[in-house]
């Protein structure tokens, strides 16, 4: 239950911001949040009961951050929904066609991390900008995070978000209607758009695979569990595909919450830790009921308050991504160029910055990084 609450509260504002950025109305964004909660809950329940393994699923937080920086594409919200569905298809195909997984693995890790860092950077700057503009409103949010980040890092982000919601309630007027607090589902027929496929689906697929699915397997392995790889990709890809028309962007293996449910906190008996996944599934279904109310509160928030909580939530991921991107000296310049292009938010030919960041990094890497032939020294 703790893993589900922490996973939800730490990043649902990022999901809402990402969906709205690519064209969703608040009602459609709320629908997407409900769909993601249900899809990952049912997928996690299936895998846990079938394999008696504490598999943890989540929505793609880096993917949601990618949507924030991508913005609207040609075709608007229906095209974005089509890109979400295409992402699900690509994930399913990765489980069925090993060669597709090899292509993802062939993307240099420093470039994948640099692209993610560039996507996150504008969001992580938000607390600074908002604090300068509205110190009385944003200050308590930052202070709550700062007080807990060392003694209780797991709860630092949820606490800052709770404070942000308190600020929203205090500052909001009385125009919120009761029906807006109820969970809703909004169906959108997917539309095809080349710019959405290249600007959303492809980067979303790469980010989800490289930043969520692969680390999720690694985390489980550290606790002695083997993730059913192909079936997990099939379940998460199908979940993404089914959630897409309702507004969900991507479901994947979890990494952070996986450590909670597969580790000693889930019990001394390793053979029974799968029950934590069942409890988390039930908790996510209950949290789905709160999606409408939370979306309404976020929509009513003063400028910068919720954005600050989202930026604080992504700060740790940004730090880890920067560390991986710039660790190798030979890879630094291509990675730095990839990061800068991703952070620029530029759109060329209707295609967002994340795609061009990868292209830039790969081209520059081809020019600057010498071929590593067997027996040939590096440099």
Q: What is the pLDDT of residues 341-374, one digit of tens each?
A: 988 888 777 777 778 888 899 899 888 866 543 4
- Cα gap 243→34, rounded to integer Å: 9
Using the 8-state DSSP alphabet, how is residue 136 labeled?
H
Dihedrals phi, psi of 78, to nearest 5 degrees: -60, -35
N residues, the chain: 379
90 within 8 A of 100, measured Cβ to Cβ: yes
Sign, Cα dihedral of 83, 102, 215, 211: negative
- Cα gap 193→74, rounded to integer Å: 7
Rounded to 5 degrees, what angle do the CA atoms 225, 105, 377 make?
A: 110
pLDDT score recorded for residue 113: 85
Using the 8-state DSSP alphabet, how is residue 251 labeled?
E
- Cα gap 101→43, rounded to integer Å: 21
Whole-Å CA distances, 276 to 10, 26, 79, 138: 19, 32, 37, 35
Q: Give pTM, 2 decimals.
A: 0.81
Q: Residue 89 in 3-state DSSP?
A: helix
pLDDT score recorded for residue 373: 39
List beta partners, residue 348.
Answer: 351
- Cα gap 280→259, rounded to integer Å: 13
pLDDT score recorded for residue 379: 39
Q: Which helix (H) or strand (E) holds 352?
A: none
Ranges under pLDDT 70 in the chain: 172-182, 369-379
Whole-Å CA distances, 238 to 51, 224, 235, 279: 18, 27, 5, 22
* Helix residue spans in the chain (DSSP H): 2-21, 26-51, 61-70, 76-96, 98-106, 109-124, 126-133, 135-148, 153-171, 194-196, 202-208, 214-222, 229-243, 256-262, 274-289, 291-299, 305-325, 332-344, 353-368
Residue reference for tokens 């200050």: 139
- Cα gap 299→16, rounded to integer Å: 9
Structural domain boundaries of the chain? 2-368
- Please name which of 185, 235, 184, 233 lies closest in space to residue 213, comparing C-alpha atoms: 233
2 within 8 A of 283, measured Cβ to Cβ: no
- Please name which of 315, 311, 353, 39 lies closest in space to residue 195, comparing C-alpha atoms: 353
Q: Which helix (H) or strand (E) holds 60?
A: none
- Per-residue pLDDT reduced to its tens digit, 198-228: 889 999 998 898 888 888 888 788 788 888 9
60 within 8 A of 252, measured Cβ to Cβ: yes
């Amino acid at each position: 239950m703790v893993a589900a609450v922490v996973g939800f509260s730490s990043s649902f504002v990022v999901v809402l911001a990402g969906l709205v950025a690519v064209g969703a109305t608040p009602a459609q964004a709320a629908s997407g949040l409900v769909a993601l909660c249900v899809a990952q809950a049912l997928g996690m329940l299936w895998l846990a009961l079938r394999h008696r393994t504490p598999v943890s699923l989540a929505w793609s937080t880096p993917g949601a951050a990618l949507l924030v920086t991508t913005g609207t594409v040609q075709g608007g919200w229906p095209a974005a929904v089509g890109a979400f569905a295409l992402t699900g298809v690509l994930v399913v195909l990765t489980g069925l066609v090993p060669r597709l997984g090899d292509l993802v693995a062939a993307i240099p890790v420093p470039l994948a991390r640099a692209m993610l860092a560039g996507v996150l950077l504008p969001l992580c700057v938000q607390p600074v900008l908002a604090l300068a503009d509205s110190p009385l409103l944003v200050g308590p949010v930052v202070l709550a995070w700062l007080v807990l980040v060392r003694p209780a890092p797991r709860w630092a982000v949820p606490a800052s978000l709770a404070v942000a919601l308190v600020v929203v309630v205090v500052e909001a007027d009385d125009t919120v209607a009761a029906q807006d607090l109820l969970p809703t589902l909004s169906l959108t027929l997917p539309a095809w758009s080349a710019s959405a496929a290249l600007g959303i689906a492809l980067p979303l697929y790469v980010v989800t695979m490289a930043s969520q699915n692969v680390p999720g397997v690694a985390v489980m392995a550290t606790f002695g569990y083997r993730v059913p790889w192909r079936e997990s990709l099939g379940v998460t890809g199908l979940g993404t595909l089914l959630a897409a028309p309702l507004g969900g962007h991507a479901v994947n293996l979890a990494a952070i919450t996986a450590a909670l449910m597969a580790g000693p906190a889930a019990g001394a008996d390793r053979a029974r830790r799968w029950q934590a996944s069942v409890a988390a599934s039930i908790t996510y279904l209950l949290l789905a009921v709160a999606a409408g109310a939370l979306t309404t509160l976020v929509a009513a928030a003063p400028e910068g308050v919720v954005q600050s909580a989202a930026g604080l939530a992504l700060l740790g991921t940004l730090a880890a991504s920067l560390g991986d991107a710039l660790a190798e000296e030979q890879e630094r310049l291509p990675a730095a160029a990839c990061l800068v292009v991703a952070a620029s938010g530029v759109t060329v030919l209707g295609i967002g910055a994340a795609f061009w960041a990868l292209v830039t990094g790969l081209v520059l890497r081809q020019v600057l990084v010498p071929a590593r032939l067997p027996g040939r020294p590096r440099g």
